[in-house]
Structure 1
C-alpha cells in the first residue's frame, strides 16, 4: 500500500480522463499525462531537493514565525486580548536581543491597587507569595495568541504569577536570525532573569508547549549543568526529538515512505543544528517534570510524548516523584492546542505544584 504514494498523481489523472468527451479524449489524455508527470517530478523531486539545500526554508517551516496571529494585536496592550492585571515590558539579553514579555498578576492581587510602574510590578515578583509560571510558546503566532491567553487566565485564576515572552523574531521581539541555539539562549536568559528576580521568595515553574517543550528542555539542561534549577517543568504536547517529529508529522505522510525521505528531509535539520533532542536534554534536568499530552493530537502524535516520557523514566529510574505523564483521552477533543480546557487540568497543576514544593523544602 505504501508504494501507492508514488503513483497518486498518475491515478488522479486516470480518473480525470474518464470524464473527458470521447472526441477530445486522445489529445486530452496526452496533455493530462504530461501535466501529471510534471507535477509528479515537481512534488516528489524538485521541491524536496530545494528544501534539502535551503537552510532558510527549513527554519521557516520549523519556526513558522512569519505566521503572525492575531494579525492586528497591539502587544503593548495585553488587555486588548483579554489579559487583565498585566504589564508589557522588554528585556535585553546578553546577546543584545530585545525580548518582548508580559507579566500577569495572580487573581488575589487584582482586587488591590494594580501597580502602575515597572518597578512596582518587579517588586511584586521579588515578594511573590504564590508560585510563578514562565510560559514558553510553540511555533507561529505570539504571546497574545488565543489558546495561550486561555492558559494565562487559568494560571491567574489559580492565583499564580505569570510571565510569558516571545523568542527572537516572534511578536515584537528583535528580528534576529532564528536558530535552535538562538531561541534557547533567549529562553535561558529569561529563566535566569526570573529566578534572580523572584530570588527564592516563591517556587518558579517553567511551562513549554509544542516547540516550546524542545526549547525549555534544552535551556533547562544547560542551566542544570550550572546548578540552576526551577521548581518544576511542565511539557505540554511534547515531541522527543525533531527527527521523529518530522517523520510523524501529518504533512510528511505523503513523503516519508519514499526511499530518500530521511536524507532529504531529516538530515538537513540535524546538519544545521535544528535538533531539539528533548529525549537527551531531559536526562540532564534535575527538577520534577510533568508531561501533558492528548491522544488526538494531530500535530505532535501522542506516541512521541510517550517516547519522551519513557526516555526520562528509564534514565531517572521511573521515579514517580521526578517524571509524571497525564494522558488525555481523545474523547475530549482537545487536540494539540486546547489542553488548557481540560477539566482536570487545574487539579493536575495544583497537585504537581504542591508535591514539587514539598520535595524542594524537604
Structure 2
C-alpha cells in the first residue's frame, strides 16, 4: 500500500511540475495570437483611410491606419487585444467614426504587417511610437488624443496614459494583470512565480491623471467582471464605469445601444469638464 501511495505521489508531483513547466514556457503562445493577413479594410465599410508606416522608439517598423472623421472631436489611439490584427476591428472603428472621432489603429510588432516579434516591452514601445507619430507627423496636441485599449490593449493604453497625459483614457474588457488572471485560471499553480509577463493594468491606472472610462460586461467569461471593479476603484477621479452585457469579444456589439450612449455621455462630460 505504501508503495502505491508513493507512486501516486510521484505521479501527482510529475503532473504538477509538467503543468508548471508548460505554463512557464508556453506563455508567449498563450498571451499572443497574431495573424498577418489583412482580411478587410475601412473602405469596405465606406470609410476613407490612409495606411501609415512608422517606427517604435527602438526602430521596429510598424503598420497602422489613420481613419479621419469630419470635424473630429479628437483622435483615438486604438490599442487592440491579443489576437488577430487591425483588420478585425472595423466595427469599433465605425463606432468611433460615428462619434466624430478620428482613429489611429496600429498593429503591435509581430501582428499584421508590423515587423518584429511580440513582447510586453515591445507593445509598450509600439504604443509610444503611435503617440509620437500623431504628435510629430500629424501635429496633434496631446489633449486631442483619446487612448482606447481593449483586453490586453487596456494594459498597453494605461501604461501609455501613465507616461503621457491624454484627453481621456477608455479601457474595455481589461484585466488587472496577467498574473491575477492566470491565478484565477490555474488555482493550483504558483502563477505569480511562473508568470514572465506582467501587463499590470492595475499598477498603471493608479498613476493615470485624466478622465477614465472603464467598460466591462458581467457576462465576460474570459476576464471576470471583478477585474473591472478593481480597476475602477484604483483609478483616480474623474472616472466613470459603464456596464455592458455580452461576451468578452462582442459585448460592445451585443449591447450596442448602451455602449454607444455610454461613450457619448462620457465624451460629452470630458468636453464640458462636467464630472
Smaller-chain TM-score bracket = 0.7 to 0.9
Q: Give the superposition deviation at 1:72.
A: 4.9
- Cα distance between partner residues in 2 of 1:182 and 1:72: 21
TM-score (norm 2): 0.86
5+ long unaligned stretches in structure 2: 1-7
CA distances 1:110-138 after superposition (whole Å, capped 9, x unpaired):
xxxxxxxxxxxxxxxxxx64321111101
- Aligned-partner Cα distance in 2 for 1:276–1:202: 25
Equivalent residues of 1:78, 1:87 under 8 A apart: no
Residue deviations 1:273-331, cap 9 Å, x none? x111111111111111000000000111101111111122xxx3xx3xx1111122x4x
Residue matched to 2:127: 187
Matches within 5 A, 1:197-208: 197-200=138-141, 203-208=144-149
Residue pair 1:83, 1:149 contacting (<8 A) in 2 also: no
SS of the aligned residue for 2:257 comes to coil
TM-score for both structures, normalised by structure 1: 0.66
> Which protein is richer in strand relative to its size?
2
> Are the counterparts in 2 of residues 233 and 288 from structure 1 also a CA contact under 8 Å?
yes
> Quick check: which one's helix share is greater?
1
Instruction: Compare CA radii of gyration and give the structure with the larger one.
Output: 1
Task: Give runs of aligned pairs for residues 1-362 of structure 1, distance below 5 A.
Answer: 44-45=15-16, 47-54=18-25, 57-65=26-34, 68=35, 72-73=37-38, 77-80=41-44, 82=45, 84-106=47-69, 108=70, 129-145=72-88, 148-176=89-117, 178-196=118-136, 197-200=138-141, 203-221=144-162, 223=163, 228-248=164-184, 252=185, 255-256=186-187, 258=188, 261-262=189-190, 265-269=191-195, 272=196, 274-312=197-235, 316=236, 319=237, 322-328=238-244, 330=245, 334-341=246-253, 342-359=256-273
- The number of equivalent residue pairs is 262
SS of 1:344's equivalent? helix
Give the CA RMSD over aligned residues.
Answer: 2.5
Q: Is the 8 A contact 1:195 1:230 kept in 2?
A: no
Deviation, 1:203, is 2.1
Q: Residues 72 and 97 of structure 1: is their aligned pair in 2 closer, same or farther, counting only changes over 3 Å?
A: closer
